[in-house]
Structure 1
Amino acid sequence: MADLSKRSPALRVAIVGLGPIGIKVAEALDRGIDGLVLSAVSVQHPDKHRDWLAKLSRPPAILPIDGLAEVADIVIECAPSKLVRSIVAPFVKSGKTAVVLSAGALLENDDLIDLARQNGGQIVVPTGALIGLDAVTAAAVGEITSVRMVTRKPVRGLAGAPYIVENNIDIEKITEPLRIFEGTAREAAKGFPANLNVAVALSLAGIGPDRTRLEIWADPALTRNMHRVEVESDSARFSMSIENIPSENPKTGRITALSVIAWLRKQRAALRVGT
Structure 2
Amino acid sequence: MTSPQSVKRVAVVGLGAIGRAVATALDGGLDGLALVAVSVSDPAKHREFLAALSKSPAILPIDALADVADIVIECAPAALLRSIVAPFVSRGKTAIILSVGALLENDDLVATAKQNGGQIVVPTGALIGLDAVTAAAEGTIHSVRMVTRKPVKGLAGAPYIVENNIDIESITEPLKIFDGTAREAAKGFPANLNVAVALSLAGIGPDRTRLEIWADPALTRNVHRVEVDSDSASFTMSIENIPSENPKTGRITALSVIAYLRKQGSALRVGT
TM-score between both structures, scaled by the size of structure 1: 0.97
1:108 aligns with 2:105: yes
How large is the RMSD of aligned CA atoms in angstroms? 1.0
Aligned partner of 1:49 among 46, 50, 68: 46
For structure 1, which segment, 169-178 or 251-260, has the greater mean C-alpha deviation from structure 2 after superposition? 169-178
Provide structure 2 residue ranges, at least 5 long, that are not aligned to the other structure.
none
1:235 aligns with 2:196: no
Aligned partner of 1:268 among 255, 265, 269: 265
Summarize deviations over 1:167-218 as a string: whole Å, max 9, x none.
0011111100110000000000000000000000000000000000000000
2: CA distance, partners of 1:247 / 1:51: 20
2: CA distance, partners of 1:136 / 1:129: 14
2: CA distance, partners of 1:77 / 1:233: 32
Aligned partner of 2:151 among 134, 145, 154: 154
Segments ≥4 residues shifted beyond 4 Å:
none
1: CA distance, partners of 2:196 / 2:171: 24
Partner in structure 1 of residue 63 of structure 2: 66
1: CA distance, partners of 2:188 / 2:23: 30
Partner in structure 2 of residue 196 of structure 1: 193
Secondary structure of the corresponding residue to residue 12 of structure 2: strand
Q: Which amino acid aligns with 2:87?
A: P
1:51 deviates by 2.3
Partner in structure 2 of residue 172 of structure 1: 169
How many residue pairs align between the two structures?
A: 272
1: CA distance, partners of 2:99 / 2:5: 30
The within-5 A match list for 1:237-252 is: 237-252=234-249
Provide structure 1 residue ranges, at least 5 long, that are not aligned to the other structure.
none
Percent identical residues: 81
1:222 aligns with 2:219: yes
Partner in structure 2 of residue 137 of structure 1: 134
1:8 deviates by 5.0
